[in-house]
Structure 1
Amino acid sequence: MDHWYFLGFLLLILLQLCLVSAEINGSVLEMKRGTSSVPFDPTRVTQLSWHPRAFLYKGFLSSEECDHLITLAKDKLEKSMVADNESGDSIESEVRTSYGMFLQKAQDEVVADIEARIAAWTFLPVENGESMQILHYKNGQKYEPHFDYFHDKANQELGGHRIATVLMYLSDVESGGETVFPNAEGKLSQPKYDSWSDCAKDGYAVKPRKGDALLFFSLHLDATTDSDSLHGSCPVIKGEKWSATKWIHVRSFDTAKWQSVNRDCVDENENCATWASAGECEKNPSYMIGSEDYYGYCRKSCKVCSS
Protein backbone atom coordinates (compact mmCIF):
# COMPACT_ATOMS: atom_id res chain seq x y z
CA MET A 1 0.00 0.00 0.00
CA ASP A 2 1.31 3.46 -0.88
CA HIS A 3 2.68 5.02 2.31
CA TRP A 4 1.08 8.37 1.51
CA TYR A 5 -2.31 6.78 1.22
CA PHE A 6 -1.72 4.85 4.43
CA LEU A 7 -1.05 8.14 6.20
CA GLY A 8 -4.19 9.58 4.63
CA PHE A 9 -6.17 6.59 5.78
CA LEU A 10 -4.95 7.07 9.34
CA LEU A 11 -5.73 10.78 9.11
CA LEU A 12 -9.33 10.06 8.15
CA ILE A 13 -9.69 7.73 11.13
CA LEU A 14 -8.21 10.44 13.36
CA LEU A 15 -10.66 12.95 11.92
CA GLN A 16 -13.61 10.74 12.78
CA LEU A 17 -12.31 10.14 16.31
CA CYS A 18 -11.71 13.85 16.85
CA LEU A 19 -15.20 14.77 15.73
CA VAL A 20 -16.82 12.07 17.81
CA SER A 21 -14.84 12.80 20.96
CA ALA A 22 -15.48 16.52 20.62
CA GLU A 23 -19.23 15.88 20.14
CA ILE A 24 -19.46 18.86 17.81
CA ASN A 25 -22.43 21.01 18.89
CA GLY A 26 -23.53 18.18 21.18
CA SER A 27 -23.96 15.56 18.48
CA VAL A 28 -22.04 12.28 18.42
CA LEU A 29 -21.60 10.91 14.90
CA GLU A 30 -22.95 7.41 14.52
CA MET A 31 -22.43 5.35 11.39
CA LYS A 32 -25.72 4.45 9.80
CA ARG A 33 -26.08 0.76 9.08
CA GLY A 34 -26.08 -0.29 5.45
CA THR A 35 -23.31 -1.43 3.16
CA SER A 36 -22.45 -0.98 -0.47
CA SER A 37 -22.33 -3.88 -2.91
CA VAL A 38 -18.91 -2.55 -3.96
CA PRO A 39 -16.35 -2.77 -1.13
CA PHE A 40 -14.01 0.11 -0.37
CA ASP A 41 -10.72 -0.47 -2.23
CA PRO A 42 -7.84 1.57 -0.72
CA THR A 43 -5.51 0.66 -3.60
CA ARG A 44 -7.54 2.91 -5.89
CA VAL A 45 -7.13 5.99 -3.71
CA THR A 46 -4.36 8.55 -4.13
CA GLN A 47 -3.58 11.37 -1.75
CA LEU A 48 -3.43 14.58 -3.80
CA SER A 49 -2.86 17.27 -1.21
CA TRP A 50 -2.59 17.88 2.53
CA HIS A 51 -3.45 21.59 2.21
CA PRO A 52 -6.34 21.16 1.57
CA ARG A 53 -6.77 17.47 2.40
CA ALA A 54 -7.81 15.96 -0.93
CA PHE A 55 -7.95 12.38 -2.24
CA LEU A 56 -8.79 10.86 -5.64
CA TYR A 57 -10.55 7.49 -5.94
CA LYS A 58 -10.03 5.97 -9.41
CA GLY A 59 -13.08 4.10 -10.67
CA PHE A 60 -15.28 4.92 -7.68
CA LEU A 61 -18.35 4.58 -9.92
CA SER A 62 -18.90 2.11 -12.72
CA SER A 63 -19.75 3.41 -16.19
CA GLU A 64 -23.27 2.03 -15.74
CA GLU A 65 -23.72 3.91 -12.46
CA CYS A 66 -22.57 7.15 -14.09
CA ASP A 67 -25.03 6.72 -16.95
CA HIS A 68 -27.83 5.87 -14.51
CA LEU A 69 -27.33 9.08 -12.50
CA ILE A 70 -27.35 11.16 -15.69
CA THR A 71 -30.57 9.47 -16.81
CA LEU A 72 -32.25 10.25 -13.48
CA ALA A 73 -31.34 13.94 -13.79
CA LYS A 74 -31.48 14.73 -17.49
CA ASP A 75 -35.14 15.82 -17.68
CA LYS A 76 -35.17 17.76 -14.39
CA LEU A 77 -32.27 20.21 -14.75
CA GLU A 78 -32.69 23.81 -13.63
CA LYS A 79 -30.38 26.84 -13.54
CA SER A 80 -27.91 26.37 -10.67
CA MET A 81 -28.14 28.79 -7.77
CA VAL A 82 -25.73 30.00 -5.09
CA ALA A 83 -26.29 30.82 -1.40
CA ASP A 84 -26.14 34.50 -0.48
CA ASN A 85 -23.38 35.03 2.09
CA GLU A 86 -25.50 37.28 4.30
CA SER A 87 -29.01 35.83 4.22
CA GLY A 88 -28.35 32.28 3.05
CA ASP A 89 -31.08 32.68 0.42
CA SER A 90 -30.65 31.12 -3.01
CA ILE A 91 -29.85 33.56 -5.77
CA GLU A 92 -28.83 33.39 -9.42
CA SER A 93 -25.25 34.40 -10.17
CA GLU A 94 -22.82 34.43 -13.06
CA VAL A 95 -20.38 32.86 -10.60
CA ARG A 96 -22.17 29.57 -11.32
CA THR A 97 -23.51 28.95 -14.82
CA SER A 98 -24.22 25.22 -14.79
CA TYR A 99 -27.58 23.45 -14.64
CA GLY A 100 -28.45 20.90 -11.98
CA MET A 101 -30.96 19.09 -9.80
CA PHE A 102 -31.06 17.11 -6.54
CA LEU A 103 -31.91 13.44 -6.31
CA GLN A 104 -33.85 12.11 -3.33
CA LYS A 105 -31.70 10.32 -0.75
CA ALA A 106 -31.79 6.57 -1.39
CA GLN A 107 -33.99 7.34 -4.40
CA ASP A 108 -33.34 3.87 -5.76
CA GLU A 109 -30.99 0.95 -5.11
CA VAL A 110 -28.20 2.46 -7.19
CA VAL A 111 -28.28 5.81 -5.38
CA ALA A 112 -28.50 4.11 -1.96
CA ASP A 113 -25.54 1.88 -2.84
CA ILE A 114 -23.41 4.88 -3.85
CA GLU A 115 -24.35 6.75 -0.66
CA ALA A 116 -23.29 3.76 1.45
CA ARG A 117 -20.00 3.57 -0.46
CA ILE A 118 -19.35 7.27 0.23
CA ALA A 119 -19.95 6.71 3.95
CA ALA A 120 -17.51 3.78 3.97
CA TRP A 121 -14.81 5.85 2.25
CA THR A 122 -15.20 9.06 4.27
CA PHE A 123 -15.94 7.50 7.68
CA LEU A 124 -18.88 9.93 7.88
CA PRO A 125 -22.45 8.67 8.36
CA VAL A 126 -24.99 8.53 5.55
CA GLU A 127 -27.39 10.72 7.54
CA ASN A 128 -24.82 13.55 7.65
CA GLY A 129 -24.98 13.91 3.86
CA GLU A 130 -27.25 16.10 1.77
CA SER A 131 -29.11 14.73 -1.21
CA MET A 132 -26.86 14.10 -4.18
CA GLN A 133 -26.72 16.97 -6.67
CA ILE A 134 -26.27 16.23 -10.38
CA LEU A 135 -24.67 19.03 -12.43
CA HIS A 136 -24.35 19.54 -16.17
CA TYR A 137 -21.85 21.96 -17.72
CA LYS A 138 -21.99 22.81 -21.42
CA ASN A 139 -19.45 24.77 -23.47
CA GLY A 140 -18.20 27.79 -21.54
CA GLN A 141 -20.09 26.97 -18.34
CA LYS A 142 -18.20 27.00 -15.04
CA TYR A 143 -18.29 27.61 -11.30
CA GLU A 144 -15.95 30.31 -10.02
CA PRO A 145 -13.76 29.46 -6.98
CA HIS A 146 -15.81 29.25 -3.78
CA PHE A 147 -15.98 27.51 -0.40
CA ASP A 148 -18.37 24.69 0.48
CA TYR A 149 -18.54 25.75 4.13
CA PHE A 150 -21.12 28.42 4.99
CA HIS A 151 -20.76 32.10 5.79
CA ASP A 152 -24.34 32.55 7.02
CA LYS A 153 -25.93 31.18 10.21
CA ALA A 154 -29.15 30.05 8.52
CA ASN A 155 -27.49 27.27 6.55
CA GLN A 156 -25.31 26.24 9.49
CA GLU A 157 -28.44 25.39 11.47
CA LEU A 158 -29.05 22.42 9.16
CA GLY A 159 -26.38 19.96 10.25
CA GLY A 160 -23.67 22.54 10.86
CA HIS A 161 -20.85 23.29 8.43
CA ARG A 162 -20.16 21.07 5.46
CA ILE A 163 -17.08 19.17 6.55
CA ALA A 164 -16.39 17.23 3.34
CA THR A 165 -17.33 17.10 -0.32
CA VAL A 166 -17.30 14.08 -2.61
CA LEU A 167 -17.31 15.13 -6.26
CA MET A 168 -17.98 12.28 -8.70
CA TYR A 169 -17.25 12.69 -12.40
CA LEU A 170 -19.97 11.14 -14.54
CA SER A 171 -18.39 11.85 -17.94
CA ASP A 172 -15.07 12.52 -19.61
CA VAL A 173 -14.49 16.09 -20.84
CA GLU A 174 -12.58 16.62 -24.08
CA SER A 175 -11.10 19.92 -22.93
CA GLY A 176 -11.52 22.11 -19.85
CA GLY A 177 -13.86 21.40 -16.96
CA GLU A 178 -11.06 20.68 -14.49
CA THR A 179 -11.59 21.06 -10.73
CA VAL A 180 -9.07 23.62 -9.51
CA PHE A 181 -7.84 24.56 -6.01
CA PRO A 182 -6.30 28.06 -6.32
CA ASN A 183 -4.99 28.12 -2.72
CA ALA A 184 -3.60 24.58 -2.61
CA GLU A 185 -0.09 24.27 -1.25
CA GLY A 186 1.00 22.01 -4.11
CA LYS A 187 -0.20 24.18 -6.98
CA LEU A 188 3.31 25.27 -7.95
CA SER A 189 4.87 21.81 -7.81
CA GLN A 190 2.14 20.01 -9.79
CA PRO A 191 3.16 19.32 -13.42
CA LYS A 192 1.05 21.28 -15.91
CA TYR A 193 0.14 19.81 -19.28
CA ASP A 194 -0.48 21.59 -22.57
CA SER A 195 -3.89 19.91 -22.81
CA TRP A 196 -5.05 21.62 -19.60
CA SER A 197 -6.99 24.88 -19.68
CA ASP A 198 -5.43 28.15 -18.52
CA CYS A 199 -7.83 28.07 -15.56
CA ALA A 200 -6.40 24.72 -14.43
CA LYS A 201 -2.88 26.12 -14.49
CA ASP A 202 -3.80 28.70 -11.83
CA GLY A 203 -3.95 26.13 -9.02
CA TYR A 204 -3.81 22.45 -8.17
CA ALA A 205 -6.08 20.83 -10.76
CA VAL A 206 -7.94 17.54 -11.20
CA LYS A 207 -9.01 16.47 -14.67
CA PRO A 208 -12.52 14.96 -14.80
CA ARG A 209 -12.54 11.30 -15.82
CA LYS A 210 -15.71 9.24 -15.92
CA GLY A 211 -16.11 7.16 -12.75
CA ASP A 212 -13.44 8.92 -10.66
CA ALA A 213 -14.34 10.65 -7.37
CA LEU A 214 -12.61 13.52 -5.59
CA LEU A 215 -12.88 13.83 -1.79
CA PHE A 216 -11.75 17.02 -0.09
CA PHE A 217 -12.31 18.49 3.37
CA SER A 218 -13.52 22.04 4.02
CA LEU A 219 -12.70 21.98 7.74
CA HIS A 220 -9.48 21.40 9.66
CA LEU A 221 -9.24 18.60 12.21
CA ASP A 222 -10.25 21.07 14.93
CA ALA A 223 -13.43 21.85 12.93
CA THR A 224 -12.31 25.37 11.94
CA THR A 225 -12.80 26.38 8.31
CA ASP A 226 -9.96 25.70 5.86
CA SER A 227 -9.33 28.55 3.41
CA ASP A 228 -7.12 26.22 1.34
CA SER A 229 -10.31 24.37 0.33
CA LEU A 230 -11.24 27.17 -2.08
CA HIS A 231 -12.15 25.40 -5.33
CA GLY A 232 -13.88 25.93 -8.65
CA SER A 233 -14.92 24.22 -11.85
CA CYS A 234 -13.01 25.51 -14.88
CA PRO A 235 -15.02 26.41 -18.00
CA VAL A 236 -15.76 23.56 -20.38
CA ILE A 237 -13.87 24.26 -23.61
CA LYS A 238 -14.86 21.24 -25.68
CA GLY A 239 -17.48 18.59 -24.97
CA GLU A 240 -19.71 18.57 -21.89
CA LYS A 241 -19.28 17.75 -18.22
CA TRP A 242 -21.57 15.76 -15.93
CA SER A 243 -20.84 15.43 -12.22
CA ALA A 244 -22.50 14.38 -8.97
CA THR A 245 -21.80 16.12 -5.67
CA LYS A 246 -22.37 14.85 -2.14
CA TRP A 247 -21.94 17.43 0.62
CA ILE A 248 -21.44 16.01 4.12
CA HIS A 249 -22.07 17.91 7.37
CA VAL A 250 -20.56 17.67 10.85
CA ARG A 251 -23.93 16.63 12.28
CA SER A 252 -26.89 14.66 11.01
CA PHE A 253 -28.45 16.60 8.16
CA ASP A 254 -31.49 14.29 8.23
CA THR A 255 -32.22 14.98 11.90
CA ALA A 256 -31.81 18.72 11.37
CA LYS A 257 -34.17 18.56 8.43
CA TRP A 258 -36.85 16.71 10.42
CA GLN A 259 -36.54 19.17 13.29
CA SER A 260 -36.84 22.06 10.86
CA VAL A 261 -39.90 20.57 9.20
CA ASN A 262 -41.59 19.90 12.54
CA ARG A 263 -40.82 23.41 13.77
CA ASP A 264 -41.38 25.64 10.74
CA CYS A 265 -42.84 25.62 7.27
CA VAL A 266 -39.61 25.91 5.29
CA ASP A 267 -37.94 24.77 2.10
CA GLU A 268 -34.95 22.46 2.55
CA ASN A 269 -33.37 23.09 -0.86
CA GLU A 270 -32.11 26.33 -2.35
CA ASN A 271 -33.84 25.67 -5.69
CA CYS A 272 -37.34 24.93 -4.34
CA ALA A 273 -38.99 28.16 -5.48
CA THR A 274 -37.60 27.79 -8.99
CA TRP A 275 -38.64 24.15 -9.23
CA ALA A 276 -42.14 24.87 -7.89
CA SER A 277 -42.72 27.60 -10.48
CA ALA A 278 -41.63 25.11 -13.16
CA GLY A 279 -44.33 22.65 -12.07
CA GLU A 280 -42.15 20.18 -10.16
CA CYS A 281 -44.64 19.96 -7.27
CA GLU A 282 -46.92 18.07 -9.65
CA LYS A 283 -44.22 16.34 -11.72
CA ASN A 284 -42.04 15.17 -8.83
CA PRO A 285 -44.26 15.10 -5.69
CA SER A 286 -42.23 12.44 -3.84
CA TYR A 287 -39.24 14.77 -3.62
CA MET A 288 -41.03 18.12 -3.50
CA ILE A 289 -43.94 17.34 -1.16
CA GLY A 290 -43.22 13.92 0.31
CA SER A 291 -45.64 11.31 1.62
CA GLU A 292 -47.07 10.06 4.91
CA ASP A 293 -43.70 8.51 5.75
CA TYR A 294 -41.35 11.10 4.24
CA TYR A 295 -41.29 14.89 4.40
CA GLY A 296 -40.54 16.52 1.06
CA TYR A 297 -37.86 19.12 0.57
CA CYS A 298 -40.02 21.89 -0.89
CA ARG A 299 -43.23 21.90 1.18
CA LYS A 300 -43.28 25.69 1.58
CA SER A 301 -42.88 26.45 -2.14
CA CYS A 302 -45.47 23.77 -2.97
CA LYS A 303 -47.85 25.47 -0.49
CA VAL A 304 -48.67 22.30 1.46
CA CYS A 305 -47.90 23.93 4.82
CA SER A 306 -48.16 27.39 6.34
CA SER A 307 -45.59 29.45 8.19
Structure 2
Amino acid sequence: MRQSAVIDTDGKSVNSSVRTSSGTFINRGHDKILSNIEKRIADFTFIPVENGEDVNILHYEVGQHYVTHADYFWNEVNTRNGGQRAATMLMYLSNVEEGGETTFPSAKGNFSSVPWWNELSDCGKEGLSIKPKMGDAILFWSMKPDGSFDPTSYHGACPVIKGDKWSCTKWLRVGKRT
Protein backbone atom coordinates (compact mmCIF):
# COMPACT_ATOMS: atom_id res chain seq x y z
CA MET A 1 0.00 0.00 0.00
CA ARG A 2 1.22 3.48 -0.91
CA GLN A 3 -0.18 6.96 -0.52
CA SER A 4 -3.00 7.28 -3.04
CA ALA A 5 -2.28 9.58 -5.95
CA VAL A 6 -4.32 11.58 -8.43
CA ILE A 7 -3.79 11.79 -12.19
CA ASP A 8 -2.49 15.15 -13.40
CA THR A 9 -3.17 16.77 -16.78
CA ASP A 10 -0.09 15.07 -18.24
CA GLY A 11 -1.43 11.63 -17.27
CA LYS A 12 1.05 11.16 -14.42
CA SER A 13 0.23 9.93 -10.91
CA VAL A 14 1.05 12.60 -8.32
CA ASN A 15 0.54 12.82 -4.58
CA SER A 16 -1.96 15.46 -3.51
CA SER A 17 -3.56 16.67 -0.29
CA VAL A 18 -6.99 16.26 -1.93
CA ARG A 19 -6.62 12.46 -1.62
CA THR A 20 -5.07 11.19 1.60
CA SER A 21 -5.84 7.45 1.62
CA SER A 22 -3.38 4.68 0.87
CA GLY A 23 -3.94 2.17 -1.88
CA THR A 24 -2.73 -0.41 -4.34
CA PHE A 25 -3.80 -1.73 -7.72
CA ILE A 26 -4.44 -5.38 -8.48
CA ASN A 27 -4.13 -6.43 -12.12
CA ARG A 28 -7.29 -7.38 -13.97
CA GLY A 29 -7.75 -11.14 -13.84
CA HIS A 30 -5.21 -11.52 -10.99
CA ASP A 31 -6.98 -14.61 -9.66
CA LYS A 32 -10.25 -16.52 -9.95
CA ILE A 33 -12.05 -14.57 -7.21
CA LEU A 34 -11.19 -11.20 -8.75
CA SER A 35 -12.03 -12.50 -12.23
CA ASN A 36 -15.46 -13.59 -10.98
CA ILE A 37 -16.08 -10.16 -9.43
CA GLU A 38 -15.03 -8.41 -12.64
CA LYS A 39 -17.33 -10.70 -14.65
CA ARG A 40 -20.27 -9.87 -12.37
CA ILE A 41 -19.57 -6.14 -12.81
CA ALA A 42 -19.42 -6.59 -16.59
CA ASP A 43 -22.68 -8.56 -16.59
CA PHE A 44 -24.39 -5.92 -14.45
CA THR A 45 -23.13 -2.86 -16.35
CA PHE A 46 -23.02 -4.32 -19.88
CA ILE A 47 -19.45 -2.98 -20.10
CA PRO A 48 -16.96 -5.72 -21.10
CA VAL A 49 -14.33 -6.85 -18.60
CA GLU A 50 -11.66 -5.68 -21.08
CA ASN A 51 -12.86 -2.08 -20.66
CA GLY A 52 -12.13 -2.05 -16.94
CA GLU A 53 -9.08 -0.61 -15.27
CA ASP A 54 -7.23 -2.63 -12.65
CA VAL A 55 -9.06 -2.61 -9.32
CA ASN A 56 -7.91 -0.07 -6.77
CA ILE A 57 -7.93 -1.22 -3.13
CA LEU A 58 -8.13 1.77 -0.78
CA HIS A 59 -7.60 2.21 2.95
CA TYR A 60 -8.68 5.32 4.85
CA GLU A 61 -7.55 5.88 8.43
CA VAL A 62 -8.99 8.44 10.86
CA GLY A 63 -8.92 11.89 9.27
CA GLN A 64 -8.25 10.65 5.75
CA HIS A 65 -10.54 11.75 2.91
CA TYR A 66 -10.89 12.41 -0.82
CA VAL A 67 -12.12 15.88 -1.82
CA THR A 68 -15.10 16.06 -4.20
CA HIS A 69 -13.99 15.19 -7.73
CA ALA A 70 -15.09 13.65 -11.02
CA ASP A 71 -13.82 10.30 -12.27
CA TYR A 72 -13.87 11.39 -15.91
CA PHE A 73 -10.94 13.13 -17.52
CA TRP A 74 -10.73 16.66 -18.93
CA ASN A 75 -7.98 16.01 -21.46
CA GLU A 76 -7.03 13.62 -24.21
CA VAL A 77 -3.83 12.36 -22.54
CA ASN A 78 -5.75 10.38 -19.92
CA THR A 79 -8.20 8.86 -22.42
CA ARG A 80 -5.70 7.33 -24.87
CA ASN A 81 -6.04 3.83 -23.43
CA GLY A 82 -9.70 2.84 -23.43
CA GLY A 83 -11.27 6.26 -23.85
CA GLN A 84 -13.23 8.09 -21.20
CA ARG A 85 -14.26 6.63 -17.85
CA ALA A 86 -17.97 5.91 -18.25
CA ALA A 87 -18.81 4.44 -14.85
CA THR A 88 -17.45 3.57 -11.43
CA MET A 89 -18.24 0.58 -9.25
CA LEU A 90 -17.31 1.26 -5.64
CA MET A 91 -17.35 -1.74 -3.31
CA TYR A 92 -17.13 -1.47 0.47
CA LEU A 93 -14.82 -4.01 2.10
CA SER A 94 -15.43 -2.89 5.71
CA ASN A 95 -17.88 -1.11 7.94
CA VAL A 96 -16.88 2.32 9.25
CA GLU A 97 -17.80 3.23 12.81
CA GLU A 98 -18.20 6.94 12.03
CA GLY A 99 -17.62 9.11 8.96
CA GLY A 100 -16.11 7.85 5.71
CA GLU A 101 -19.31 8.30 3.71
CA THR A 102 -19.27 8.56 -0.06
CA THR A 103 -21.03 11.79 -0.83
CA PHE A 104 -22.54 13.23 -3.99
CA PRO A 105 -22.92 16.94 -3.17
CA SER A 106 -24.38 17.86 -6.59
CA ALA A 107 -27.27 15.41 -6.28
CA LYS A 108 -30.65 17.12 -6.04
CA GLY A 109 -33.31 16.30 -3.48
CA ASN A 110 -34.26 16.42 0.18
CA PHE A 111 -32.11 13.67 1.65
CA SER A 112 -32.81 14.44 5.32
CA SER A 113 -35.71 11.98 5.15
CA VAL A 114 -33.53 8.94 4.38
CA PRO A 115 -33.58 6.44 7.27
CA TRP A 116 -29.82 6.65 7.89
CA TRP A 117 -29.70 10.49 8.05
CA ASN A 118 -28.94 10.57 11.80
CA GLU A 119 -26.03 8.12 11.30
CA LEU A 120 -24.22 10.50 8.90
CA SER A 121 -21.35 12.79 9.81
CA ASP A 122 -21.70 16.53 9.12
CA CYS A 123 -19.79 16.01 5.86
CA GLY A 124 -22.17 13.20 4.92
CA LYS A 125 -25.16 15.51 5.28
CA GLU A 126 -24.05 17.60 2.29
CA GLY A 127 -25.88 16.00 -0.63
CA LEU A 128 -26.71 12.35 -1.18
CA SER A 129 -24.42 10.16 0.93
CA ILE A 130 -23.86 6.47 1.35
CA LYS A 131 -22.55 5.09 4.62
CA PRO A 132 -19.97 2.35 3.99
CA LYS A 133 -21.22 -1.12 4.89
CA MET A 134 -19.13 -4.20 4.20
CA GLY A 135 -20.48 -6.10 1.21
CA ASP A 136 -22.39 -3.15 -0.27
CA ALA A 137 -21.48 -1.61 -3.61
CA ILE A 138 -22.57 1.46 -5.52
CA LEU A 139 -22.49 2.02 -9.26
CA PHE A 140 -22.58 5.50 -10.70
CA TRP A 141 -22.20 6.75 -14.25
CA SER A 142 -19.82 9.59 -15.08
CA MET A 143 -21.34 10.04 -18.52
CA LYS A 144 -24.89 10.47 -19.74
CA PRO A 145 -26.26 8.23 -22.53
CA ASP A 146 -25.44 10.96 -25.08
CA GLY A 147 -21.74 10.82 -24.08
CA SER A 148 -21.69 14.13 -22.21
CA PHE A 149 -20.26 14.36 -18.69
CA ASP A 150 -22.71 14.04 -15.81
CA PRO A 151 -21.93 16.73 -13.20
CA THR A 152 -24.07 14.93 -10.60
CA SER A 153 -21.41 12.18 -10.57
CA TYR A 154 -19.04 14.48 -8.66
CA HIS A 155 -18.32 12.65 -5.43
CA GLY A 156 -15.97 12.55 -2.50
CA ALA A 157 -15.02 10.51 0.55
CA CYS A 158 -15.79 12.17 3.87
CA PRO A 159 -13.08 11.97 6.51
CA VAL A 160 -13.13 8.86 8.67
CA ILE A 161 -13.94 9.94 12.22
CA LYS A 162 -13.79 6.60 14.05
CA GLY A 163 -12.46 3.26 12.81
CA ASP A 164 -11.10 2.81 9.32
CA LYS A 165 -12.46 2.26 5.82
CA TRP A 166 -11.51 -0.31 3.20
CA SER A 167 -12.95 -0.12 -0.30
CA CYS A 168 -12.33 -1.34 -3.82
CA THR A 169 -12.86 0.83 -6.90
CA LYS A 170 -13.33 -0.43 -10.45
CA TRP A 171 -13.34 2.23 -13.18
CA LEU A 172 -14.99 1.27 -16.46
CA ARG A 173 -13.99 2.85 -19.77
CA VAL A 174 -15.97 3.29 -22.97
CA GLY A 175 -13.40 1.22 -24.91
CA LYS A 176 -11.05 -1.71 -24.47
CA ARG A 177 -7.97 -1.22 -22.28
CA THR A 178 -4.62 -2.55 -23.45
Do they superpose with TM above 0.5?
A: yes
* Structure 1 pair 122–183 and aligned structure 2 pair: CA distance change class (3 A): same
Q: Deviations over 1:143-188 (max 9, x none)?
A: 00000000121111111110000000000000000000010123x3
**1:94 and 2:17 equivalent?**
yes
How many residues align structurally?
Answer: 176
Local SS of the residue matching 2:87: strand
Kindly provide the CA deviation profile for residues 273-307 of structure 1, in whole angstroms up to 9, marking residues without a partner as x.
xxxxxxxxxxxxxxxxxxxxxxxxxxxxxxxxxxx
Kindly tell me: are residues 139 and 87 of structure 1, through their superposed partners in 2, closer, same or farther at Cα, counting changes over 3 Å? same
Letter in 1 for 2:70: F
Q: Which residue of 2 aligns with 1:111?
A: 34
- Choose from 144, 169, 178 the match for 1:245: 169
Any idea what SS the aligned residue of 1:145 has? strand
* Residue 88 (structure 1) shift: 2.4
Q: Conserved in 1, the CA contact under 8 Å of 2:111 and 2:127?
A: no
Indicate the residue corresponding to 1:191 in structure 2.
113
Deviation sequence 1:178-208 (CA, Å, 0-9, x none): 000010123x344262321111111100011
| CA-atom RMSD in angstroms | 1.0
Give the match's secondary structure for 1:244: strand
C-alpha distance in 2 between matches for 1:105 and 1:190: 39
**TM-score, normalised to structure 2's length?**
0.96
Report if the CA contact (8 A) 1:105-1:131 is conserved.
yes
Partner of 2:91, secondary structure, is: strand
Higher strand share: 2
Write the distance in 1 (CA, Å) between the matches of 2:72 and 2:168.
18
Segments of structure 2 that go 5 or more residues without pairing to the other structure are none
SS of the residue aligned with 1:185?
coil
Select the structure with the greater relative contact order (CA < 8 A; seq sep ≥ 6).
Answer: 2
Distance 2:154 2:27 in 1: 27
The match for 2:53 among 122, 125, 130 is: 130
Aligned to 1:229: 153
**Structure 1 stretches of 4+ moved >3 Å:** none
Q: Which residue of 2 aligns with 1:145?
A: 68
| Structure with the higher helix share, 1 or 2 | 1
Specify the SS of the correspondent of 2:132. coil
Give the distance between the partners of 1:213 and 1:177, measured in 2 at CA. 14
Unpaired segments ≥5 residues, structure 1: 1-76, 258-307
Instruction: Name 1:201's counterpart in structure 2.
Output: 125
Q: State whether structure 2 residue 86 is matched by structure 1 residue 163.
A: yes
2: CA distance, partners of 1:208 / 1:173: 6
| SS of corresponding position for 2:10 | coil
Q: 1:249 is aligned with what amino acid?
A: R
Identity between Structure 1 and Structure 2 (%): 51
For the 8 Å contact 1:100–1:134, the answer to whether it is kept is yes
Deviations 1:58-111 (A, max 9, x none): xxxxxxxxxxxxxxxxxxx00100011x32221111100000000011111100
